[in-house]
Amino acid sequence: MFTFDTLSLLFVLFLALGVVPNIFYAWGYMDHIERKGHFLVHYLSFILSMLGVVLSNTPLAFLFFWEIMSLTSWQLILANAHEKGTLPAARLYFFMTHFGFVFILLFFLITSDGNLSLSFSELHAIAAHFPYPTLLFFLLVLGFLSKAGVVPMHVWLPYAHPAAPSAVSALMSGVMLKIALYGFLRMLLEVLYPWHLEWGVVVLIIGAISSLIGVLYALSEHDMKALLANHSIENIGIILIAFGMGMIFGSLHLPLLSAFAFIAGLYHIFNHMSFKSLLFMSAGAVLHQTHTKNIEKYGSLIKTMPITAANFLFAAVSISALPPTNGFLSEWMIFQSLLGSSSISDIILKISIPFTVFALALTGGLAIACFVKAFGITFLGLHRSHNAKHAHEVNRLMQIGMLSMAAVVLALMLFAPLFLHLFDDALVPFGLSDITGRITPTFWSIHSIAHNGGVVSPLFLTFALAVVVFALDYAAKLLGVRSRSHRTWACGYRTNAKMQYTATGFAGPIRRFFAWLYRPEVHFHKKTVAGHTTKFTSALYDVHIKPLFEASLYEGTKKALNVISYWVYRLGHFEQVRYGAIIFNLMLSVLFGYRIIAHHFSWATLVLEAVILIASIKILVIGDKE
């Protein structure tokens, strides 16, 4: 029923690191929650169910805890049910999470041959006999990665995470998404191996697209928490790039590079948990004080909320993958494993992988832009609303929560080689190589496994930066720098909040460059003075962006389903016999489909069954009209 192997224990550590600071924070956040009993019951059972998922060893236990995890988090989104937008968000989340559940269930039903109480290690033999392993792989992708929120199954994420209370957003974005990746990884390592080369390429492409789409929509977002949720999509994409490279190297028999890529992926899982939780916590603190999620209504908060601002800045530097933080280290490792692609002998694959390098690097650049915007508009400048003016620092418990999560980020950064050791130990029992000695020969540096790779040392970088900063500060003291303060020069006018750059304006050049993707809807109204085009008394500029995937894929599917259901309804025509015939045909097609998938496939039976199906539809359902 339960297992305590290395990978499970690693994720127990992961949960401990992610959950303990969160409990302090949630404790401090309680006064913001209306239904306290409801919240506590679901919050605690959410945490316990995640623990159950990582420890369970049979499909039955896994599915049970997985479903509890989905349902409790769904209830947690509904904690402030009367707020606008919460109900549709919860409904979408409920639908998407069960959409994924169906595929996970199908995967387990096929690989366990119906006996869900077998242990995971026994599933491999059954899965190996299944004639279409690629089908199983796609079931895994649809099942686990829809929960992890990769493009194009990410649409629920920017709605569901902001709707939840901030402590829960931190837990969902930081921890729960990674539990889905844990499931994906465990199934790949324990049930569905050896991997085909194409699977790795699929995972790599999904990862590259998710990372770019995630960061681009994050940039155009005005809602602070939706911005962070979009960044989760990006980071899940980055983790999947690492896993994809690991699978590609694994299927090409390059075991060292494969182990390195998987370690990089696991490291980024831990890092993303730490800095994303910290970001959600400090964004939640801002929301707690200003009562708005709109980034344009913040400003100047660093003066009144210095601890929150410092935490946000630290996490922002880390998520933007800037040295010497942990976000940089794991992205560095992922770049190194992409560099390792030069050892691949297949020339087509070798030439294609630089496109992933391009995607990942562009993602990094855009993430910097996005977090300059998020930090700069929120915490710097002048306050843009009354709420922001009257904000003050949050209570002690929330501060403890944030500071302890910052400590987790710091630990992951300074003791990176020790953590890498741990990740390698967790993966070795699953048949990956032991490369600890190669990548972390000393406790202060990380080496690349690629033959043209490099070295990085977090301790050295931190130390060097600190020394230089202190030396410069000392020089300032020696020089006796005097200072005086005066208001900002605004060309003769008084500086005021309306003169500042807005978040919309900040992202303007990037939005204009990617207009083909965003297709922004611009509303621009101004009252001009006496027919002048350039003189006006008031102006309003507003940009709305409807995410492309929602507008095309999801709206399109909705329309198609409406057309089909209308067609079925017309066929049925309120006659019981016809409804009966439709149900009979549906069962027939399911049975035939099962026969074709699960048993021996031959064209003769396919044709025969198709003829039977078409004939019965013609005779029973459509009948002879007119």
Partner 1 sequence: MIAYILWIAVMVLTAPLFLSLIKMIKMWLLFKKPLSPLQGYRDFSKLLSKEVLISQEASAITHIAPYMVLAPLVVVLFLLPPPSAKSFFISFTDAFTLTGLVALSSFFLMLLGLDSASSFGGIGSSREAFISALVEPAMILVIFALSLMAKNLGVAQATINLAHHFPIEHLASFAFAGIAFFILLIAENGRIPVDNPETHLELTMVHEAMILDISGWYLALVESAAAIKFMIFASLFVSFFMPFGMDAPFLVALLIFLLKVAFVAILVALIEVNTAKLRLFKVPNLLGLAIIFAFLSLISYYILGA
User: Which parts of 549-588 interact with partner 1 (CB under 8 A)?
Assistant: none
Residue 441 contacts partner 1 per CB under 8 A: no
- Check if the beta carbon of residue 51 is closer than 8 Å to that of residue 5: no
User: According to the binding rule CB under 8 A, does residue 456 interact with partner 1?
Assistant: yes
Residue 490: strand pairing partners? 493
Compute how many other C-beta atoms are within 10 angstroms of the C-beta atom of residue 252: 18
Contact criterion met (CB below 8 Å) for 306 and 289: no
Footprint of partner 1 on residues 499-558 (CB under 8 A)?
Answer: 499-501, 505-510, 512-513
Burial category of 406 from C-beta neighbours within 10 Å (exposed 0-12, middle 13-18, buried 19 and up): buried
- 322 counts as binding partner 1 under rule CB under 8 A: yes
The answer to whether 431 contacts partner 1 (rule: CB under 8 A) is no
Q: What is 269-312 written as a DSSP string?
A: HHHHHHHHHHHHHHHHHHHHHH---BGGG---HHHH-HHHHHHH
Identity (one letter) of the amino acid at 42? H
Near partner 1 by CB under 8 A, which window of 9-17, 125-133, 197-205, 330-338? 330-338
Q: Which is nearer to partner 1, 166 or 363 (CB)?
A: 363
**In the set 23, 302, 411, 613, which binds partner 1 (CB under 8 A)?**
302
Binding mask 139-178 for partner 1 (x = CB under 8 A): ----------------------------------------
Q: CB of 242: closest distance to partner 1 in angstroms?
A: 15
Using CB under 8 A as the binding rule, the residues of this chain from 475 to 504 that contact partner 1 are 476, 479, 481-490, 495, 497, 499-501
Q: Taken in order 200, 201, 203, 207, is the CA torsion positive or negative? A: positive
- What backbone phi and psi angles, to 5 degrees, belong to 538? -145, 150
CB of residue 609 vs partner 1: minimum separation in angstroms? 48
Q: Which is nearer to partner 1, 251 or 504 (CB)?
A: 504
Supply the minimum distance, in Å, between the C-beta of residue 614 and partner 1. Answer: 50
Question: Does residue 7 belong to the site contacting partner 1 (CB under 8 A)?
Answer: no
Q: Tell me which of 252, 315, 377, 409 binds partner 1, using CB under 8 A.
A: 377
- Provide the minimum distance between the beta carbon of 512 and partner 1 in the complex, in angstroms, as a whole number: 7
Instruction: Please report whether residue 445 would count as binding partner 1 according to CB under 8 A.
Output: yes
| 8 Å CB contact between 367 and 235 | no
The DSSP code sequence of 153-206 is: S-TTHHHHHHHS-HHHHHHIIIIIHHHHHHHHHHHHHHTS-SPPHHHHHHHHHH
* Helix, strand or coil, per DSSP, at residue 84: coil
364 binds partner 1 (CB under 8 A): yes
Give least dist CB 17 to partner 1, A: 24
Considering the complex, what minimum distance in angstroms separates the CB of residue 374 from partner 1? 11
CB 219 within 8 A of CB 373: yes
Candidates 144-152, 276-284, 372-380, 427-435; binding stretch for partner 1 (CB under 8 A):
372-380
Amino acid at 503: A
Looking at beta carbons only, is 277 or 336 nearer to partner 1?
A: 336
- Cα three-residue angle 26-148-519, rounded to 5 degrees: 100
The answer to whether the beta carbons of residues 65 and 11 sit under 8 Å apart is no
Cβ distance 80 to 288 under 8 Å?
Answer: no
Measured CA to CA, the distance from residue 281 to residue 308 in angstroms comes to: 9
For residues 482 and 625, which CB has a smaller minimum distance to partner 1 in the complex? 482
- Tokens at 583, concatenated: 């149900």
CA-CA distance, 25 to 35, in Å (whole number)? 17
Stretch that binds partner 1, among 24-32, 95-103, 260-268, 298-306 (CB under 8 A): 298-306
Of 79, 278, 317, 412, which one interacts with partner 1 (CB under 8 A)? 317
Using CB under 8 A as the binding rule, whether residue 351 contacts partner 1 is answered as yes
Rounded to whole angstroms, the Cα distance separating 102 from 116 reads 15
Residue from 42, 276, 288, 373 that binds partner 1 (CB under 8 A)? 373
Contact criterion met (CB below 8 Å) for 162 and 293:
yes
Tell me whether residue 36 or residue 512 sits nearer to partner 1 (CB atom): 512
HSE-CB at 58 with a 13 A cutoff on CA atoms is 11
Q: Which is nearer to partner 1, 460 or 594 (CB)?
A: 460
Q: Closer CB to partner 1, residue 418 or residue 611?
A: 418
Q: What distance in Å separates the CA atoms of residue 495 and residue 497, rounded to the nearest whole number?
A: 7
Q: Which of 375, 419, 423, 518 binds partner 1 (CB under 8 A)?
A: 375
Return the range that interacts with partner 1 (CB under 8 A); candidates 250-258, 408-416, 446-454, 549-557: 446-454
- Please, which residue, 316 or 405, has the CB nearer to partner 1? 316
In the set 169, 320, 330, 399, which binds partner 1 (CB under 8 A)? Answer: 320
Cβ at position 607, least distance to partner 1 in Å: 46
Q: Nearest approach, Cβ of 346 to partner 1 (angstroms)?
A: 11
Choose the stretch contacting partner 1; rule: CB under 8 A; options: 228-236, 352-360, 582-590, 616-624. 352-360
Residue (493 or 574) nearer to partner 1, CB: 493
Output the smallest distance, CB 427 to partner 1, in A: 24
Query: What's the CA gap between 144 and 69, in Å, rounded?
Result: 13
Amino acid letter, residue 481: V
> Does residue 214 belong to the site contacting partner 1 (CB under 8 A)?
no
Q: What would the two tokens of residue 549 be?
A: 């995937």
As given in the structure block, the two tokens for residue 73 are 């988090």
Of 22-30, 114-122, 249-257, 467-475, the window that binds partner 1 (rule: CB under 8 A) is: 467-475
Name the helix (H) or strand (E) containing 12: helix 6-29
Q: What angle do CA 150, 512, 535 make, to 5 degrees?
A: 140
Of 71, 145, 154, 133, the closest CA to residue 104 belongs to: 145
Rg of the chain over CA atoms, in angstroms? Answer: 27
Q: What is the full DSSP assignment across 402-437? A: HHHHHHHHHHHHHTHHHHHHHHHHHHGGGT----HH
Minimum distance, C-beta of residue 211 to partner 1, in the bound complex (Å)? 12
Instruction: Pick the closer one to partner 1 by CB: 209 or 322.
Output: 322
Which residue in 417, 457, 581, 621 binds partner 1 (CB under 8 A)? 457
Q: Quick one: which segment of 107-115, 170-178, 331-339, 574-582 binds partner 1 (CB under 8 A)?
A: 331-339
| Interacting span for partner 1 (CB under 8 A) from 177-185, 262-270, 378-386, 398-406 | 378-386
Length of the chain: 626
* Residue 366 in contact with partner 1, rule: CB under 8 A: yes
